[in-house]
């Protein structure tokens, strides 16, 4: 295994620190990791300056790596990085790696600005602008979207926000592609699609866009979330989610890595966009009431706990 380059994190690590991944680093992880450090400050800047000063060296190192890791012929990253948990392969770089890199460079520029590091800010902002131009020129699919799948498309809508305005024609085109590619999943297990992963990633991106510029579109987001809760998560009494799902003998099976923290977090965050935040109150069943619109009316999600308890669990030995 190659050593992890400076400015990156391990793909995964054991609880006591050592590297546990099958690859030494992932380009999307570098981008999302940097953004996460900035995002924590961004949520409460008045009280977190000391925090940002403490983590800025890590932000700077990762941004420096992403600037250096550049193909001069395309201004994108070279095709030699692991994107997610895949070995470098034909067709790279894709939006799965390039989008998080753009998000990282914009976040690094914002962090440098917040701390008054003018030289860093200019360097990071220049690379972000160059990368944004390269992305616009290199990636174009149906109707002007950048990505043709709901997973990378979901990231494009949020948190990457390739274009800052959700009114932008290419952002609207990406939203249409994301829903078109998502919808067949929500016909499972009876429909033609027999396997899938990360539907909540697409729903989260759509939730952000629809909540701002297309409120009627939230009906589709809610439909998808109900499918995750009613169908994908209801295959066994625990209701937990794996990373992916497949259909076996007409029944949904959720796999692997259960409970899959990321997929469950995506479901939670997408639900907040779809229904709004509502404080938890004990005694309201498995699911709370979420306000469905700004005038305070609410829509009660069906209580799934009884159906989950009644559902027939499939023993792992029988898969």
Region of residue 116 (left: phi > 0; alpha: psi -120 to 50; beta: else): left
Cis peptide before 159 (omega within 30 of 0): yes
**DSSP secondary structure, 279-296, as one string:** ---TTS-SS-EEE-STTS
* Predicted confidence (pLDDT) per residue in 11-29, tens digit: 777 888 877 777 778 899 9
Q: What is the pLDDT of residues 142-186, one digit of tens each?
A: 789 999 999 999 999 999 999 999 999 999 999 999 999 999 999
CB distance 197 to 254 below 8 Å: no
The full DSSP string for 167-188 is TSHHHHHHHHHHHHHHGGGGGT
Instruction: Of 173, 138, 171, give the one whose Cα is nearest residue 157.
Output: 171
Q: What is the pLDDT of residues 33-82, one digit of tens each?
A: 999 999 999 999 999 999 999 999 999 999 999 999 999 999 999 998 88
Q: What global pTM score does this model have?
A: 0.84
């Amino acid at each position: 295994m190659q050593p992890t380059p400076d400015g990156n994190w391990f793909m995964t690590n054991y609880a006591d620190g050592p590297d546990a991944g099958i690859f030494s680093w992932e380009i999307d992880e570098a981008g999302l990791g940097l953004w996460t450090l900035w995002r924590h400050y961004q949520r409460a800047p008045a009280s977190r300056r000391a925090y940002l000063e403490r983590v800025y060296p890590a932000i700077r190192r990762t941004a420096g790596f992403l600037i250096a890791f550049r193909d001069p012929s395309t201004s994108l990253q070279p095709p030699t990085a692991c994107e997610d948990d895949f070995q470098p392969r034909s067709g790279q770089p894709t939006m799965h790696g390039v989008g998080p890199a753009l998000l990282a460079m914009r976040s690094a520029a914002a962090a440098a600005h917040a701390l008054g590091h003018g030289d860093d800010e200019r360097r990071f902002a220049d690379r972000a602008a160059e990368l944004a131009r390269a992305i616009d020129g290199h990636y174009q699919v149906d109707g002007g979207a950048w990505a043709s799948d709901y997973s990378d498309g979901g990231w494009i809508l949020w948190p990457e926000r390739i274009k800052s305005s959700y009114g932008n024609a290419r952002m609207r085109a990406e939203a249409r592609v994301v829903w078109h590619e998502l919808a067949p999943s929500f016909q499972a297990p009876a429909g033609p699609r027999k396997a899938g992963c990360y539907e909540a990633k697409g729903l989260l991106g759509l939730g952000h866009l629809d909540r701002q510029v297309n409120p009627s579109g939230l009906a589709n987001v809610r439909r998808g979330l109900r499918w995750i809760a009613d169908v994908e998560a209801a295959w066994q009494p625990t209701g937990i989610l794996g990373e992916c799902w497949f259909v076996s003998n007409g029944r949904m099976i959720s796999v692997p890595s259960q409970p899959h923290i990321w997929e469950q977090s995506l479901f939670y965050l997408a639900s907040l966009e779809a229904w709004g935040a509502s404080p938890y109150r004990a005694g309201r069943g498995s699911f709370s009431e979420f306000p469905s619109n700004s005038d305070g009316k609410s829509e009660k999600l069906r209580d799934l706990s009884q159906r989950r308890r009644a559902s027939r669990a499939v023993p792992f030995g029988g898969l």
